[in-house]
Structure 1
Amino acid sequence: MSGFNLRFLGHSTVRLELGGRVVLTDPVLTARVGGLVRVVPVPEPGAYADVDLVLLSHLHGDHLHLPSLKLLGKRPRIVVPRGAGSWLAGKGFAHVEEIAPGETLDEGGLTVTATEAVHSGHRWGPRLTHGPQSPAIGHLIETAGTKIYHAGDTDLFAGMAGFGPVDVALLPVWGWGPNLGPGHLDPARAAQAAALVQARAALPVHWGTLAVPVLKNTARMRRLLADPPRVFAAEVKAAGIATDVLFTEPGADVVLPAPTDRA
């Protein structure tokens, strides 16, 4: 596997260098996100200083995080789910564009196609009706020889089978609290997602980064900050799924498998 680079910056934030562009997914770059605290170091500014394209999967504050977007400056093109553009532009951000499932945009040598996602698209959660709302999405990021699937936040759904095969799937394997609500993948369902999209490799994300302050030092929370990607890898292996799990600690470069690693 060659021609691109990945760095896991924590939570659902991945830096992707592909097709002559730098892409950032769902940037969370600060020490606090609302009432949550970051339990790993914040990314150094160099990790996001040269971003060309920001892909936002949905409006929840741990994915569309306004203070983190402000750190990126005026340079990046920011892509949001259709229906959220005017709200984000009203917050003072330039170069905001909308995309809906099935729609495609080009960025230099990249093509980005929005996909379906099964997750609440409301800014403040599934039980509220006031405030901004737009459907949650994922993304297929492609060049002539490479396809990356950014799932965003989603539960498992049969339509994932239409996205593959993909070279790397960025798959959420947990959240930030002691329990998962609806519309999320746990490690077992993430393994099924890897199989559905026929992922050659999968990077587990959405783990090990954010926690509720009063819970972060409890034994259960310490396990949940560390175990989900390991359980995901075990589930992939137990099911005989032909996917390399790219276990990567938050803040580290992703070590991609060599072309000869797979038959």
Structure 2
Amino acid sequence: MTDQRRYTTGGPAAGGPGPRAVPRPLGVPRVWPRSFADRLTAPLPGLAAMVRAARQGTLRPAPETLPGPGELPVVTEPLPPADAAGTSVTWAGHASWVIRTGGLTVLADPVWSRKILATPPRITPVGVAWERLPEIDAVVISHNHYDHLDLPTLRRLPPDTPLLVPAGLGPWCRRRGFTRVTDLDWWETAELPARPESAGTVRFGFVPAHHWSRRTLTDTCRSLWGGWVLTGPAGHRVYFAGDTGYGHWFSQIGSRWPGIDLALLPVGAYAPRWMQGSVHTDPEEAVRACADVGARRLAPMHWGAFLLSGEPPLEPLHRVRAAWAAAGRAREDLWDLPVGGSRVLP
């Protein structure tokens, strides 16, 4: 049965916020508003801003700042094993992660393509060969921009793979043959059984972000955007922010989802600041956001793969390391992974 309730700026009309919310049923089509533009934190830059950035030469990094061979860290490692009590993360590059928790293997914003629309080819390879992936139990998508929602990658998966997506993106997925699609509003949750099934569940909470959505010239903000909080049966909690600027949502996420062990936060695509500031955190803001959500550890992402903006490709890594040290945070809690690198939560 289609859920005919509509939802407004304040989030879901029923169900309650945070980890105590009643999980939504999986795979149920829903009716959403035609536009989510009322969820925008700031006005979007228009054509004039793009022309200004192009004239300034700040849409892409200067050629002399591009890294030479071997300067960007890339490793080839086996994935950590999946078990009911453990949680691990593997950075496949850009904003793509392999998250293993509660015995499940979850892909976050999987982009295994070498090139995406209107962007130069990636400057580092994907950190995990597709053939090395185990069976995928679920996919979470933060929003529909091409560097986060890659149809050629999704089509490598069986059509019955569970997809957890933002509100309004479900019809797009179903039209492309996916049969187990669940779209959520901010603060709503869904659950999947852990492996083995007797071990409990893995909870997926969809949370707000300071961003926007568009795939064509006519669908701006027709679907929602956000991040995901994954909670395994052993209590490990991982926050995947997707794409976001800095703002008030981080403290609210930390309040409604306390005890986050690890925050996967974007640190790139921030220059020029006058154009990117409202929708992309810079490294210093990512460190502040980590504190706001109450996360002990930070794993930087959204850098070192696609040339989306004007900063030098290696600058985000140097700046996030400096900001982390300046904040007095323990060095071992900054998980500045190489592409293909993994870490396991203790």
TM-score range, shorter chain: 0.7 to 0.9
Residue 222 of structure 2: aligned partner = 133
Residue 234 of structure 1: aligned partner = 322
CA shift for structure 1 position 148:
0.5
One-letter amino acid matched to 2:187: G
Distance 1:45 1:165 in 2: 32
TM-score (norm 1): 0.85
CA gap of 1:168–1:130, structure 2 versus 1, over 3 A, is closer
One-letter amino acid matched to 1:156: Y
Residue 170 of structure 1: aligned partner = 264
Q: Give the match's secondary structure for 1:9.
A: strand
CA shift for structure 1 position 89:
1.1
- For the 8 Å contact 1:52–1:75, the answer to whether it is kept is no
**Which of 283, 294, 304 pairs up with 1:187?**
283
- For the 8 Å contact 1:176–1:211, the answer to whether it is kept is no
Distance 2:313 2:179 in 1: 35
Q: What are the Cα deviations for residues 199-232 of structure 1, in whole angstroms up to 9, with x where unaligned?
A: 11111010101126xx9xxxx76xx322212311
**Which of 241, 256, 260 pairs up with 1:151?**
241
1:28 and 2:111 correspond? yes
- For the 8 Å contact 1:176–1:210, the answer to whether it is kept is no
TM-score (norm 2): 0.65
Residue 253 of structure 1: aligned partner = 342
Residue 123 of structure 1: aligned partner = 215
After the TM superposition, which of the residue ranges 142-151 and 44-53 deviates more from structure 2? 44-53
Residue 3 of structure 1: aligned partner = 86
**Which of 251, 262, 265 pairs up with 1:161?**
251
One-letter amino acid matched to 1:150: F
CA gap of 1:157–1:177, structure 2 versus 1, over 3 A, is closer
Distance 2:326 2:130 in 1: 39
1:93 and 2:178 correspond? yes
One-letter amino acid matched to 1:41: P
For this pair of structures, how many residues does the alignment match?
A: 245
CA gap of 1:76–1:230, structure 2 versus 1, over 3 A, is farther
Higher relative strand content: 1
Instruction: Indicate the RMSD between aligned Cα atoms, in angstroms.
Output: 2.4
One-letter amino acid matched to 1:174: G
CA shift for structure 1 position 74:
2.5
- For the 8 Å contact 1:83–1:134, the answer to whether it is kept is yes
- For the 8 Å contact 1:138–1:151, the answer to whether it is kept is yes
Residue 300 of structure 2: aligned partner = 204
CA gap of 1:24–1:47, structure 2 versus 1, over 3 A, is farther
Unaligned runs of 5+ in 2: 1-84, 194-200
Higher Rg of the two aligned structures: 2
* Structure 1 moving runs of 4+ over 6 Å: 176-180
1:44 and 2:136 correspond? no
- For the 8 Å contact 1:81–1:137, the answer to whether it is kept is yes
One-letter amino acid matched to 1:116: P
One-letter amino acid matched to 2:125: P
1:105 and 2:105 correspond? no
- For the 8 Å contact 1:78–1:97, the answer to whether it is kept is yes
Report the identity percentage.
32
CA gap of 1:242–1:116, structure 2 versus 1, over 3 A, is farther
- Greater RCO structure (CA 8 Å; 6+ sep): 2
CA shift for structure 1 position 24:
0.7
Q: What are the Cα deviations for residues 10-61 of structure 1, in whole angstroms up to 9, with x where unaligned?
A: 0100101101111110010011112331111233113444111100000111
